[in-house]
Structure 1
């Protein structure tokens, strides 16, 4: 998939849209957990509960479905690391137990895959592979003695790149590869919690096409430079958003010394290079850039987008992402600790002024399971902004602090009266 900055992002490879993702024996999750992919999917929970493992999983599966890499699972995916060896992916780091993934796409297409580490410590093998579609279904299992066989014991000659079969034949030579859709892919743009601090100047290197913004949002700046050079709308949209939400400071591109460019903030007669302002304004830039780019069916994974921002800006980002999801038909997977983020989403559902409904949002609380590992609690928002299954005590910290202040004040007044 290539991103071209010509008015809006365009994608040149058709992909089915992913609807659900299930996994088991993965990282902190022993039993099967399912994430329904909505335009806005929020991951909340305590620190080290497993939210990041879910967020990063999308980058892993993107490469597994690309048909490019030999290995079923890559531990480093587009600079997103999931560990140093296969056991780091597996619950309790037991490589002798398979890790399992199930993906549901639109048009009733499903792919279920189990991956196991063989006796050779670093060799991974697809242990089970199941493809389901309205017109064709095939379930294969692997054993060292028989190779791949279906449920009837028929042997198959198979080879894979990632999860994608490159050869799929029965013992009699019948080729079944044409039955497998080539459209089961993911297009993931992952931006981590710590975005890159920009240089005072950057320069265009002749590259006009970017497929991602980068884990640290590092390509946001050259993308804006290309936008300004091509005179498309992207840099104007980003600048206008800054002006509206950052107290009148409009973001602009200074290209007088091209190919050297500057990003600066302008208000009245004042101009300030973005490196000279608070971190919140430059940390937000990659997020605002990505939200103003259209790439239908893509998945934008954001970890803690609220970092370094004032609480009021948390809500503004939530609205920006929701509008982007609806206007550009793309999905946001957002790991957040920001209460204001969820509050704004609830308000947007009530207002429904740009079409965001209760069916467009789902929240997952990641917590300890009753037996072992972690589990997901699905929380929905109704059309009146009400929450289902809200865990007790979550985001009650502000109320608790207010109560503590009141109690402290009562104690102080009581002590004063006793004197």
Structure 2
């Protein structure tokens, strides 16, 4: 799980400060304010550690098949107006429950440009509670590496350049001796934490009328959710101990959202093709023929059950095309599955209904402020800013932003005024 995130000079963010991340973290606020950037920063590191090029410092994307995002070039990431130095940085803290030697630690990377315009690490720091490893770029692309509080570097040279933002070369690790083993363990834990991020974007593919099942078990659903039905087919048709676990979990939440009574996979004749059928009010219909809201929330529900324990699930606008009650129930999904399945949810949303239900869940003691974090993000003068909403044990917001979800009291006041005016006019 990620405990903390900080960005400096990254897109609209001059400095986020330390953003505390909890098992359920919600990012709310205005359009184009920088909410998605907070999620994308960690996805940028994820696609970097998954790059086939070990020597790469930061993978800004461009491979449509393997990369999650195409960030463009260095200047597209660097905050406009940044100078002296022209650098941006990413840092985070994590805590893992996986069977790894290093359970928690921190990463810090500052990035600049080389003479050819490529992205290079300027300052690199990995640390645990007792160990610290640092690589600093010097002249002509050489790096010096220090361990803990040593005043003199262990070594200097171009061969000490960090790899994929999370590790050093095998040659550099060998020169660190026993400390190199600790660094390898820490790098592995960081890599696993980033690889365990699963992401679903706001634009999801429309469903097909039927699907071919190739008897495979997909490892993911894709950032647009296009493989969600493949996961459901595997859940229903593969003979294994947890057969139907995912499809039953998805059906349960569709019922709680009151948008379906059951979800079912049906074979079309004796072919290898299958359809997804939605049951509601004693009527069954192909997924293609029901409201768009069901097909759009299906990947959200599927991912919540597919993601392995210990994963961080990042969602953008999970509520799209859902009616208010269904949006509210999403809050219950995040709270319950974060606890039951040990997964972390980081959610970017515009839904007032989702947020209000989170308040209610706090009042009901289904979740505590220590297990959740809410942020309001806005952008002024081309600079993003945020405030952490302070909620008490009853879900009441102590530092409510002006115009957070519009002016509900003002709307009520205006309606009352207009009603009174029209009643007076009618009497005349």
- TM-score if structure 1 supplies the norm length? 0.87
Deviation larger for 235-244 or 324-333: 235-244
Identify the residue that residue 177 of structure 1 maps to in structure 2. Answer: 180
Distance 1:216 1:351 in 2: 34
Distance 1:73 1:56 in 2: 13
2:58 and 2:120 in contact (8 A); partners too: no
Q: Does 1:104 align with 2:90?
A: no
Identify the residue that residue 223 of structure 2 maps to in structure 1. Answer: 215
Structure 1 unmatched ranges of 5 or more: 1-16
Distance 2:27 2:11 in 1: 16
Distance 2:145 2:56 in 1: 22
Identify the residue that residue 289 of structure 2 maps to in structure 1. Answer: 276
Distance 1:111 1:104 in 2: 7
Q: Does 1:266 align with 2:279?
A: yes
Identify the residue that residue 76 of structure 2 maps to in structure 1. Answer: 88
Aligned to 2:372, which of 336, 355, 361? 361
Deviation larger for 130-139 or 407-416: 407-416
Deviation larger for 402-411 or 180-189: 402-411
| CA deviation map 1:314-355 (0-9, x unaligned) | 1011111211111111111111111111111111122234xx
Distance 2:260 2:58 in 1: 47
Structure 2 unmatched ranges of 5 or more: 96-102
| CA deviation map 1:136-171 (0-9, x unaligned) | 212221022471124635233414331122426679
2:11 and 2:78 in contact (8 A); partners too: yes
Identify the residue that residue 10 of structure 2 maps to in structure 1. Answer: 26
2:2 and 2:22 in contact (8 A); partners too: no
SS of residue matched to 1:309: coil
Alignment of structure 1 residues 194-273 onto 2, 5 Å = 194-210=203-219, 212-230=220-238, 231-257=243-269, 258-267=271-280, 269-273=282-286
2:109 and 2:121 in contact (8 A); partners too: yes
CA gap 1:84/1:372 in 2 versus in 1, 3 angstroms: closer
Q: Does 1:297 align with 2:310?
A: yes
Distance 1:401 1:228 in 2: 49
Q: Does 1:116 align with 2:112?
A: yes
Identify the residue that residue 7 of structure 1 maps to in structure 2. Answer: none
Q: CA deviation at 1:196?
A: 1.1
Deviation larger for 272-281 or 63-72: 63-72
Aligned to 2:400, which of 371, 390, 393? 390
**Which structure carries more helix by proportion?**
2
Aligned to 2:326, which of 281, 303, 313? 313
1:166 and 1:177 in contact (8 A); partners too: no
SS of residue matched to 2:387: strand
Q: What's the RMSD between the two structures over aligned residues?
A: 2.5
Alignment of structure 1 residues 404-415 onto 2, 5 Å = 404-415=414-425
Q: CA deviation at 1:274?
A: 1.0
SS of residue matched to 1:138: strand
Q: CA deviation at 1:264?
A: 1.0
Q: Does 1:129 align with 2:124?
A: yes
1:158 and 1:165 in contact (8 A); partners too: no
1:249 and 1:267 in contact (8 A); partners too: yes
Distance 1:306 1:170 in 2: 47
Distance 1:247 1:108 in 2: 41
Identify the residue that residue 377 of structure 1 maps to in structure 2. Answer: 387
Q: State the aligned residue count.
A: 397
Identify the residue that residue 344 of structure 1 maps to in structure 2. Answer: 357
2:197 and 2:311 in contact (8 A); partners too: yes
CA gap 1:251/1:146 in 2 versus in 1, 3 angstroms: closer
CA gap 1:276/1:399 in 2 versus in 1, 3 angstroms: farther
Distance 1:131 1:294 in 2: 27
1:250 and 1:265 in contact (8 A); partners too: yes
Distance 2:291 2:7 in 1: 40
Deviation larger for 17-26 or 64-73: 64-73
Aligned to 1:192, which of 198, 201, 206? 201
Identify the residue that residue 166 of structure 2 maps to in structure 1. Answer: 164
CA gap 1:165/1:247 in 2 versus in 1, 3 angstroms: closer
Distance 1:269 1:351 in 2: 34
Identify the residue that residue 73 of structure 1 maps to in structure 2. Answer: 58
Distance 1:294 1:190 in 2: 10
1:27 and 1:88 in contact (8 A); partners too: yes
| CA deviation map 1:359-387 (0-9, x unaligned) | 11101111246x87212211132211122
